[in-house]
Copies of this chain bind each other. A is one copy, B any other.
């Protein structure tokens, strides 16, 4: 079949990268896998002739089907036509086993579960790589001091290792959510209105066998109009993009020329293809040689920002009427696919982004130095409070800080160089060395190390849990 990506191929290098490559081929295969699993389950239940499962499975290859033959416009969903097309491709004996007992929604919903599992697995793999990269950064930059920024203003010192540790913990939480959502993926099998009536007393048994065949959970009862499983998979995706978007936003901000603390590395074979005739440099601009656009970070944001609206559509569509919804069900197919695709693509870009991130520690130090000690004013105040009382200490440092800002001088120079202030310090028994020490960013990092250790430990524990799960 002609491969028609869920995203236009035009934009798929951005929005359908890596595990995000989901289109017609994957969808049709998932539908066929569901039908094939049913045929095998029926055979095992004695409701289809021996060999029928094998025959149907062999015929269920997406490459042999053309979506145009499904007549989807007549029934509003592709399953009736696909089931007929599949039946035509198997022998006369096995044909009646195709789709037996099922309704279109059984096959389509089950296919969505299979697609979700495929995406969850791909995203989980990418998040593991991304988390490993974040863990390496946390270790390597445990003591790389930089200015922390709140409300986009410089605040107090942190280390880049702590920033990376925060990313790491969030990535691990996203991964844990994917694992939980994966366990919830369940087969759908209820027949025309959720009673499996056409299979008589055999329905539940076939459902259980189908769950085995497809390695999906068996639900309490058919979930045709209980859409929590769709929401759970979608939510796990949205949690993932929430984390990736935060990281990508941080990197675009840190990579601003005026900040310059990080930049994207060369993708080093990480999926980037050379342009047909060269000339197009990754993130480059032929006219402006200084330009190094953070392409991966921007691509992550291009993906992640589409997610809130798509998840909202799934939540809004959860109001399914009676035994099968008139419209709400149909409205799920595209946004669900898009969520899987965009999350897969964001994870691929994000992994590349973190794996190759170049950190400019000297620039971090320079940016921190340029704050001229002001972020440490709080620390100096604490030092003085012990000797001169909180109120007087606060007052003295506030005056010194205002003067430093006004004169464009380092806080140190004002504290030690302005006679009035220096005298007050001396009178309180504070030595210049103590002041200098209090102004040292490395001495005002609080629990930074503890938090980095905690993030690394949780990551190790998480990894252990995952591999022994």
Contacts and interface: CB of A to CB of B under 8 A. Distances in A.
Interface in A1-60: 2-11, 13-15, 17, 23-24, 27-28
Interface stretch (A126-134, A187-195, A428-436): A187-195
Contact of A330 (B301, B317, B455): B301
A73 B197 contact: no
A248 to B, nearest CB: 7
A74 B151 contact: no
Nearest to A76: B295
Given A9-B2, A289-B405, A319 B150 contact: no
Copies of this protein, total: 4
B195 A327 contact: no
A335 B310 CA distance: 10
Nearest to A5: B4
Interface stretch (A116-124, A169-177, A354-362): A169-177
A318 B152 contact: no
A347 to B, nearest CB: 15
B280 A71 contact: yes
B220 A458 contact: yes
Interface stretch (A199-207, A209-217, A415-423): A199-207
Given A312-B311, A321-B249, A162 B194 contact: yes
Contacts of A398: 289
Given A9-B67, A280-B84, A292-B153, A72 B14 contact: yes
6 contacts: A6-B7, A149-B256, A150-B322, A173-B228, A197-B379, A231-B239
